[in-house]
Amino acid sequence: MKFRTRGLVASMLLLCSLPALAEDRPKIALVLGGGGAKGAAHIGVLKVLEENRIPVDFVSGTSIGAYVGGLYALGYDADQIETIMMSLDFNTGFSDDIPREQLSYRDKQFRDEYPIDPKMGWGDGKFKMAKGALQGQTMSSLIRRSIGLVPTIDDFDSLPIPFRAVATNMPDRSEVVLHDGDFAEALQASMTVPGFLAPVKRDGKLLADGGIVNNLPISIAKEQGADIVIAVDIGAPLRSEDDIDSVFAVVGQLSAFLTNENRNQQVSMLDNDDILIMPKVEGVKMTDFSSMKNIIPKGEIAAKRQLANLSELSLNKADYAAYQQDKQRQRQQLVRSVKPISRMELQNDSVVSDSLVLDKLKGLPEPNMDAESVEDAVEKVYALDQFERVGASIEKNAHNDESTLVVKTEEKSWGPSVFNAGVHFEDSFNEDLHLALDVALTVNNLFGTGGQWRTGATLGTDYHLTTEWYQPFDTQQRVYTRLGGSLGKQRWNGLMNVEDAPFTRFIKKSNEFYGGVGINLSNNAQIELAYRYEDGVFDAMNTNLLGSMGEYWAHGAELSIGYDTLDGSIFPTSGQQLTAKVGYKTSGSTSYFDSYSGHDDYWQYQLDWKGATHIGSHNFIGRVSVESVEQGKENLSNVVSLGGFLNLSGYARNSLVGNHKALATAVYTYQLDKKLVGTEWPVFVGASAEMGDVWNEKPTNDLDDWIKAGSVFVSAETSMGAAAISFGHADTGESSVYLFFGKPF
């Protein structure tokens, strides 16, 4: 039965006060449109509906409207939805980066060298690229944490409030109405912004944001059987000519064309009895999730403007209480439908071994398992950095009262061989400019146990070519072997403190080969025994001296131990990193300086430690670095250096050179408020105090003779590496201004 006049509606609502006729009231549908962070206004609208005892019988939504509407359909009230949304960092939903501390020890070191993941690879004889800038892993985790352990649902009509979400099938741009199945996946499909997030594969379709085809799904509410529609429109108006000032603005304008066109078509379907609520959210960006708390009242204000019309739909207290009780009864039925999870099933769509994935899921299912424990396990699998997506769902067993936790993995669609990159720029404005571009290709999953063949190249001021085969012996990757080699050229801006040296700069050209075996003690630690051979030559620069400074060779065994829990490579806020090495080497060299010539056996030692902690936005970082050889004379086979930002600031990069070095650094940083700097990247102001030196022969233990230095700086941790501008000064009178960007120095 369709109601066409307000008078008839009012009459019916009066009759609804009689228990026998309570079910004869008009069926009301709530339609929530898409608009990113502006969707917080939907919560404000829900608050007004609840305050005025207005029932909702159907919900349909698109994008963020599907998310808010989905939570409401599950039986959450407006305050609960607000609590859920305010407790989540939606900005992380637009970053699929694996937190550094979750990576394996080997992957941590690799990310430090090659921090840029272009989502490009090689497979099937061709170059491949990802279907979106992000794959939606973190977004799906946010959604699952929001809704809890909701099992696969046969029909969304069985929810406390019948629900529909709208998505777009990307191959033919057709509208797809989601009405059953994995509830979290349905919400994500509707929220997947094309270009930013990769489409969701579901029922043989490739689904993305429903705003492309139906951003305000009034038609769906009509099909559900609604007598009256309450539609909430948070769409963006078209930009003016002055506002179209970037490529992003152009893309946004094109998106607005599509959503506004279908929005207008949907609004034209509203009848006289329907209500359109339009919160004033102009100027609010779709990605301004940090402002959602302030957007909620905009929805309340807009809904109250329609209060005269909305109040005609209000129930009396008794009927509204009965409506709420019925909704909560159905919610409890939904909760009870989650039977005890008795088993786990892995659907592994990759060449990664099942046993390695199951090792990360060890302990599941567990008693009293909740969404947090499931997501923590999913994160461990995703941290293997071998998958495009890792998902989880609860499937009801057909023949008993138990459920199955189904974990699904998808191999990177741009793999299995993937590219990574890194950049480095450092300038101290004194003719010391250092540039580097790094590219690596990793061939993954060799021989069934996670083996890798990785080749990397560095071009720029220095050049290096490296290749390495890494092969675990077991599927859990506990024991491994490594074989590799490299060749390259490296420039130094200083020389050992030798009297009457006729040059100030030199180049080292070297070759290295190594092999070893190791044990991954945990996700954060390893121990390795290796054998290395290296040879090379030093050539002078900026001099009339002809010929090389000297040649060298060295080989021997070394034992190393590594431990790493830092949450950042250069400006961490927590964790520790330790590398300790001891080696026994045999070396020989011929040098322009007689004192360099010789042949000797010696012990070599190296210790690097970095630790970080924080109190609120105040971060404290300490570092100790020591490298030495048990020799009393200079040796070209073990040349070390200091100088540069945070490495005796004030000196040019690598300008202090010798056979022994020691450095102690204390760094303080203060993280600025993201709203103040206008970026999601962590931005810091900081200062450092440094003490150390380099020696040719025996190091001195007299700290009064060590160089003291310090710096002040502004820095940031970006997706491409660290960035900083700094002023450094040493007590020897050296000063430098540093501009730095890229991977660790």
**Catalytic residue numbers, as ranges:** 63, 209
Q: DSSP letters along 207-230, please? A: EEEGGGT-SS-HHHHHHHT-SEEE
Q: Kindly give, in sequence order, each residue whose CB lies less than 8 Å from that of residue 242, ignoring residues fewer than 6 positions away.
A: none
Q: DSSP letters along 581-643, please? A: EEEEEEEEEEESSGGG-EEEEEEEEEEEEEEEEEETTEEEEEEEEEEEES-SS--GGG-EEE-
Instruction: Report the C-alpha gap between 253 and 241 in whole angstroms.
Output: 10
Strand partners, 525: 522, 563
* 327, amino acid identity: K
Burial environment of residue 53 by CB neighbours within 10 A (0 to 12, 13 to 18, 19 or more): middle
Strand partners, 209: 167
Q: DSSP letters along 305-359, please? A: HTHHHHGGGPPPHHHHHHHHHHHHHHHHHHHHTS--EEEEEEEEESSS-HHHHHH
The sign of the dihedral angle between the CA atoms of 119, 122, 127, 128 is negative
Instruction: Report the C-alpha gap between 347 and 578 in whole angstroms.
Output: 37
CB atoms within 10 A of CB 380: 17
Cβ–Cβ under 8 Å, residues 684 and 669: yes
Burial environment of residue 20 by CB neighbours within 10 A (0 to 12, 13 to 18, 19 or more): exposed
Q: What is the edge-to-edge ordering of all strands in the sheet holding 341-349?
A: 341-349, 403-411, 387-396
First to last CA, the chain: 73
Q: Which residue has the tokens 């160089």?
A: 707
Pull the structure tokens for residue 573. 């806020």
Considering only CA atoms, give the Rg of the chain: 32
CB atoms within 10 A of CB 570: 21
Instruction: Report the C-alpha gap between 740 and 424 in whole angstroms.
Output: 8
Instruction: Report the C-alpha gap between 205 and 190 in whole angstroms.
Output: 13
Contacts 24+ apart (CB under 8 A), 498-503: 498/593, 498/595, 498/634, 498/696, 502/540, 502/543, 502/544, 502/545, 503/540, 503/541, 503/542, 503/543, 503/545
| Continuous H helices in 429-569 | none
Tally the C-alpha atoms within 13 A of residue 659's C-alpha that lie toward its C-beta. Answer: 20
Pairing of β 451-460 and β 463-472: antiparallel
